[in-house]
Amino acid sequence: MNSKPLPTHLLILRFSALGDVAMTAPVVRAYAAAYPKILFTMVSSPLPAPLFQGISNLRFEAVNTNAYKGLGGTIRLFRRLRKLQPDLLLDLHQVLRTHILRVLFRLGGLSVFAVHKGRRQKRRLTRAKRKCLHPLPSMISRYEAVFVQAGFAPLHIDRAPLVGTIPIPKPPENSRRRVGIAPFAKHPSKFWPLEKTEELVRRLSLSGHYELFLLGSRQEADILSNWAGRYADTRCIADVHNFAQELNIIGSFDLLVSMDSANMHLASFKGVPVVSIWGGTHPYAGFYGWRQDPQQAVQSDLTCRPCSVFGNKSCRQGSLDCLQSISVDTVFWKIERNFAP
């Protein structure tokens, strides 16, 4: 039994990319809901704000980190956050900026706790030789461990029912399944060749069973708009809606097809099953979609995988065989099986 006194105002730090912040949302929301008398303040970049709405004691502090660069900027950010008067700090990011913030808050008498990322385990998983190829703790469980260390009760958030085990209800007669397709990712080692994704879109369109929605950024909208113009029942929603609107659209899907990307985590947050395609990265690193069925991951069984935790390293073979070897048939039938009677 943890006897640590609980705070009245908890400050939580998690900057970084949208997908990374999206993985913290289930944990932060679950603890805010479980402790309604405690004020939770999530500190992050502005974009993820909709992920933390709808809970009365959970507020969002948007920080543009570009305005707080370097040591001087971090000190100014500390002074800003100190004005919020927290009595406990949780660092769910664990980078240089948040390390400095932890030191400053600790010097001011605040209790601070930080996530353990398991960097050594991840290096063993991704090294070229003598890989330790086994599942590492999920980031969801690592985030929850920080709350437990701080005195909160374990909620076992990572043990929630898998999305893939919940039957997808049949649509009304003559209606099509709503399937989102998000073909892009931040790094080349994380997305399937575009010609294969286009062929998948063509086959799904020709089947007549699906209403397809193509997701991407402003820079990718031209490619996706071109596909939408060529294939029936296909719409491009890239650079059309704001983030909150796009999140609601994702929540209306029967299924999402994505790479190891932010869209996988956004669909997981909305309880939407995901067929995910993996290249240089691997679900074993702990970044698989929350509550997603492991059988929905599409990946090749190559001994060089994984070569990177985040996909930001070049292919050691120079060929990206891990992605080239995944066939359109494999992904198409993985999608079809989700809707089999």
Q: What are phi and psi of 40, to 5 degrees?
A: -110, 130
Q: Across-strand partners of 298?
A: 277
Using CA atoms, how far apart are residues 208 and 198, in angstroms rounded to an integer?
A: 16
pLDDT score at 1: 47
Give the CATH fold of the 9-158 domain: Rossmann fold (3.40.50)
The pLDDT of residue 230 is above 90: yes
Write down the mean pLDDT value for the chain: 94
pLDDT band at 171 (very low <50, low <70, confident <90, very high): confident
Would you say 326 and 192 are in contact if contact means Cβ atoms under 8 Å apart? Answer: yes
Instruction: Work out the average pLDDT over 131-137.
Output: 94
Q: Across-strand partners of 9?
A: 39
For residue 230, the number of C-alpha atoms closer than 13 Å in the C-beta half-sphere is 13
Proportion of the chain above pLDDT 90, given as a percent: 87
Give the chain's length. 341
Domain 175-338 belongs to what architecture?
Answer: 3-Layer(aba) Sandwich (3.40)
Instruction: Work out the average pLDDT over 100-128.
Output: 95
For residue 223, the number of C-alpha atoms closer than 13 Å in the C-beta half-sphere is 16
Segment 268-286, tens digit of pLDDT: 999 999 999 999 999 999 9
Tell me the CA distances in angstroms from 20 to 25, 113, 142, 234, 268, one per residue in order.
9, 19, 13, 29, 12
pLDDT score at 219: 92
Segment 44-76, tens digit of pLDDT: 999 999 999 999 999 999 999 999 999 999 999
Segment 304-321, tens digit of pLDDT: 999 999 999 988 888 899
Instruction: Work out the average pLDDT over 122-147.
Output: 95
CB burial of residue 279 (10 Å; 0-12, 13-18, 19+):
buried
Q: Which residue has the tokens 């985040």?
A: 310
pLDDT band at 2 (very low <50, low <70, confident <90, very high): low
List every span in the chain annotated with CATH 3.40.50.2000: 9-158, 175-338
Q: What are phi and psi of 150, to 5 degrees?
A: -80, -5
Is the pLDDT higher at 163 or at 207?
207
pLDDT score at 317: 85
Would you say 307 and 284 are in contact if contact means Cβ atoms under 8 Å apart? Answer: no
**Cβ-Cβ contacts under 8 Å for 150 (sequence gap 6 or more):** 4, 7, 10, 88, 90, 111, 113
